[in-house]
Structure 1
């Protein structure tokens, strides 16, 4: 019986793994990777921005290696596993004659190439999408209880990778509505929900903060064709580089003749259509559509086997793509070779410059979940991202990082400083300023609740404000100041007006530990014209107002 993986396939797969491992070791972290490394320091079934798979991968990789390679090791394994899984999914009697074409096709896809070593939520999403399609194919060929259980586990793994996975599952289901009458398909759904239950519980325990942020709190901008829809169309090209005409030609010419091919076509068109429609509301990031690379590898490979013209052009343009990508990958390590400054350049330098000035004391970075974990990764000292009303919530808003810097002497780095001492300068030339703070104290987890009702700026009505203190100690009210932040219709903060609050229950001097204190307040008049929303912010010890309340619609 011939091997499912011919020797030439294994040689090329091994070469890609070696390249990715070397790249993973010699390339400094990018900011998102540092942020996800921060996730992995506190293992959980969920995190502010994403499900936990990316953190689990990093924690597992760091058991084998230190530094950048530890962060990226599992990603390197997942990338070659993705290619192997795709190969197993392809059923064609002539496929072994076109192994080089398969690798050129897959390796020339820009983000499929990049996520061969970067550790981002899309890395496991790609692998489990490929695995899901393989298992689904086997399931449709021979449904059984065991196949249903395995399919359910893979669906759960998909959802543990990234919330976008729901699109993969839904569009495959829509391609085959007969699954609604298949008892083993329902078994798969039950298994997936059961396996995903820990994340549901995490969401419930954290007041569904991830869902609320992504659906309701995320800032946006007014629609612009060039930034939104045209940007989406450019992303369609960027995803495949020079091979894009033949990739989409293969897609357009594909006519589904079986259940599995129909699933591939539905998945591809479904994701593209979903984000095309989304582009009329917000900017679509390139990685959001990367999942279509998986079904397209299969569809395009089938097409190039039978179409000589497509095969020749994919081979030629794919080699050029790969040459460019390998050059750029070398530029990730050697900044002089890269056409622009990239975020993997100079992180060891700026973190070293800062530590040489301040030593081992903790650092508080205001409004940057990017710099805080990067400094902690490279310099092994406690850091905290203190988020104010001008920024956004993130993992630092809900984890225990704040506790590590409380009542300690810290170095405070802020984008709002200009006259303090220079903290560091990065390779791009950006200057960051900082200062020392003794006995640092912050209360960013104070929550401000306003009862749902109709709010108008013309009213002089007093409103109820409830402030919950989640800390284990009472908080002196004299340390706090309150403000209303006014936002435009796209939830961008535009105006911050200090305000007075009045305790309802007599003369309150402290916010009691793990308790709620009731106040009344009036909405102050904004300077901006026609605000769309407002939110409550609380300042402690002279720090800028925090993100303590949700955005509330103004009528």
Structure 2
């Protein structure tokens, strides 16, 4: 079937029709699908434009801001992603075309990569990451062929945009350099890192000025004290699914069989293998989301196309299987656009729907007051998006993680005001509302005088501790007040008194809570100042490896996550 090569004109028609169809499909998907929880969170980014954020660099905020300014709905939020996806596909074809790749194989394989379908319309940091990764390969391929100052300068700009998209871009740069150290001998090469650093300097300064929140989060907060073999075991099938439900295994097999004939192919091999191995090893450290390897599928696809061209006769069965794989994914997406009930109500899909009605229902109760939710950043962000407000506040609970809500001024604005407290579990006491929605039962009540200390940062004198069961361990803590006002932890005359707690976890399960002495309530910290406090904590009685977190709690809230994880071993 593929013994003959398509003419340039025929290939051009294939790609043109594909890009047009791909764009229309993504536009329809973007317009008809409610926003994902992460998209709502990044929409919040776009309301507070800055050079950096707690979790990610700022490119996703710019993507959303540009589209949302033109079309203030789901389509607008995703508009730049749809455009960038089509541009990424075309650039990928231009790269593959240099190896005489077959346009038919390119279309069905690209459509069959599940990860590319997800980020054809979903706006997260992965969307700009994919675009600038492909653009990097496109420019780098030319730079390898022609050592020139203009291409070096362009690479510096592209790399800066890549790093402004997501920190995973560092891996692409590392494996690319590792694959071809000879490039260091080029005089033009050295302008690339210099220009990149200069362009990236605003984000670096943002990290410095905010105490390196992204570094602390990605290197420390995401670590797990206990290794779970299930994470490593699930990684491989998850990656096969992302590569394509039916042909994932085939892509990995074909890419491993390619003949390395030049520096660019070697670059692709290093990046494909490096990405997937790196994140596989990371399963020992913590949970690895399947989509984190997104940019690994770019070199993977290119390697498969190159291998197919190196093969004299491609098996017809492989093409048919790839066609069926792509058809299943596209059919599923069309059914989702059409709103087919059984597809719309699938557990993994249902999260996209009904939040507009839910937000309107909650707003009827809360009015124009703040709504505080100790449920992660997702519900508060969706409430803000669908009410087009900034009245939803995510209370970062001690057993969750820190988020960008720690840095935004929303918490400062709701202090000592009346706010609506909203949760998904029954509340006790008078004045509790039960709110029945399509997203289930929610419970709320009014808090008349809000007092929270989510932004207080508790620094420990040590982050690795070994103790005997029941042993008393003393920590020298430093509490940092970032607020523009003095913090007084005194709670004798206040209904929502303040408590400092040490929270032990073993794996995902809460183990033990230790409460500080009442002397803690004597602390008064002036604005932008620090205070020292010595806390003695009794170690758990059961041997094991624990995560220890220090938390400040005020009634009726469960307590915030005010410190980094302390690795606490009882032996």
The alignment's TM-score, normalised by the length of structure 2, stands at: 0.88
Cα gap change, 1:15 to 1:311, in 2 (>3 Å): farther
- Secondary structure, counterpart of 2:376 in structure 1: coil
Aligned counterpart, 1:391: 400
| 1:316 lines up with 2:320 in the alignment | yes
Greater shift after overlay, 462-471 or 40-49?
A: 462-471
Q: CA deviation at 1:488?
A: 4.0
Query: What is the alpha-carbon distance in structure 1 between the residues aligned to residue 191 and residue 374 of structure 2?
Result: 48
1:501–1:520 Cα contact (<8 Å) kept: no
Matched, 1:232 2:251: no
What SS is found at the alignment partner of 2:490? helix
Matched residue, 1:538: 552
Mapped to 2, the partners of 1:244 and 1:551 lie a distance apart of 37
Matched, 1:434 2:444: yes
Alpha-carbon distance in 1 for matches of 2:518, 2:478 = 11
Query: Residues 453 and 359 from structure 1, CA distance in 2 versus in 1: closer, same or farther, beyond 3 angstroms?
Result: closer
Indicate the SS of the match to 1:485: strand
In structure 2, the residue matched to 1:79 is: 85
Cα distance, 1:135 vs. partner? 0.7
Cα distance per residue 1:67-106 (max 9 Å; x no partner): 11111000001100101111111244754xx323321110
Partner of 2:565: 551
The aligned runs of 1:453-532 (5 Å cut-off) are 456=467, 463-479=475-491, 480-488=497-505, 493-500=510-517, 502=519, 508=522, 510-524=524-538, 526=540, 529-530=543-544, 532=546
Once superposed, what is the RMSD of the aligned Cα atoms?
Answer: 2.7
1:33·1:118 contact (CA, 8 Å) conserved in 2?
A: yes
Q: In the TM superposition, what is the alpha-carbon distance from 1:447 to its structure 2 partner?
A: 2.1
1:533: how far off? 4.3
Q: In structure 2, the residue corresponding to 1:523 is in which secondary structure?
A: strand
Question: Do the aligned partners of 2:463 and 2:567 also contact (CA within 8 Å) in 1?
Answer: no
Whole-angstrom distance in 2 between the partners of 1:141 and 1:31: 43
Aligned-partner Cα distance in 1 for 2:63–2:97: 31
Q: Quote how far apart the aligned CAs of 1:193 are.
A: 1.5
Aligned mates of 2:170, 2:164 — CA distance in 1: 10
Compared with structure 1, are the counterparts of its residues 426 and 368 closer, same or farther at alpha carbon in structure 2 (3 Å cutoff)?
farther
* Aligned-partner Cα distance in 2 for 1:174–1:113: 30
Residue of structure 2 in register with 1:346 after alignment? 354
Match of 1:361 in 2: 369
CA shift for structure 1 position 245? 3.7
The CA deviation at 1:515 is 2.2
2:220 is equivalent to residue 216 of structure 1:
yes
Q: 1:543 Cα shift?
A: 2.7
Query: Is the Cα–Cα contact under 8 Å of residues 145 and 184 in structure 1 kept in the other structure?
Result: yes
Q: Residue 492 and residue 150 in structure 1: after superposition, are their counterparts in 2 closer, same or farther (change >3 A)?
A: farther
Q: Among residues 9, 14, 18, which one is paired with 1:12 in the alignment?
A: 18
Closer/same/farther in 2, CA of residues 9 and 331 from structure 1, 3 Å limit: closer
- Cα deviations by residue, 1:279-312 (Å, 9 ceiling, x for unpaired): 3343332111221221122222233345476463
- Are 1:305 and 1:311, in contact at CA under 8 Å, matched by a contact in 2? no
- Alpha-carbon distance, 1:109 to partner: 0.6
Alpha-carbon deviation of 1:188?
Answer: 0.8
Output the CA distance in 2 between the equivalents of 1:402 and 1:383. Answer: 10
Residue-by-residue CA offset, 1:20-49 (whole Å, 9 max, x unaligned): 111111110011111111111101111111
Moved more, 216-225 or 130-139: 216-225
Single out whichever of 120-129 and 540-549 deviates more from structure 2.
540-549
* 2:175–2:274 Cα contact (<8 Å) kept: yes
Find the counterpart in structure 2 of residue 255 from structure 1: 259
Consecutive unaligned residues of structure 1, counting only runs of 5 or more, are none
- The secondary structure found in structure 2 opposite 1:465 is strand
Distance 1:478 1:88 in 2: 66
> How do 1:402-417 residues align onto structure 2 when only pairs under 5 Å count?
402-415=411-424, 417=426
CA displacement 1:395-421 (0-9 Å, x = unmatched): 111221213433332211124544442
Q: Is the 8 A contact 2:222 2:286 kept in 1?
A: no
1:328/1:337 contact within 8 Å kept: no
- After TM superposition, the structure 1 = structure 2 runs for residues 164-175 of structure 1, keeping only pairs within 5 Å, are 164-175=168-179
Give the 3-state SS of the residue equivalent to 1:242 in structure 2. Answer: coil
Report how far residue 463 of structure 1 moved: 4.6
Q: Is the 8 A contact 2:485 2:527 kept in 1?
A: yes
| 1:104-253 superposed matches below 5 A | 104-220=108-224, 222-225=226-229, 227-239=230-242, 240-253=244-257
CA distance in 2, matches of 1:45, 1:313: 50
State the 1:266 CA deviation: 1.2
Secondary structure of 1:47 counterpart: coil
Q: Deviations over 1:258-277 (max 9, x none)?
A: 11111111111111221222
Partner of 2:341: 336
Question: Deviation at 1:228?
Answer: 1.8
**Deviations along 1:125-151, whole A, 9 cap, x unmatched?**
111111111111111111122111111
Report the Cα distance in structure 2 between the residues aligned to 1:469 and 1:92, rounded to whole angstroms.
57
Residue pair 1:486, 1:531 contacting (<8 A) in 2 also? no
2:382 pairs, out of 360, 374, 386, with 374
Tell me the distance in 2 between the aligned counterparts of 1:352 and 1:177: 57
Partner residue in 1 for 2:3? none
Name stretches of at least 5 consecutive residues in structure 2 with no aligned partner: 1-7, 492-496
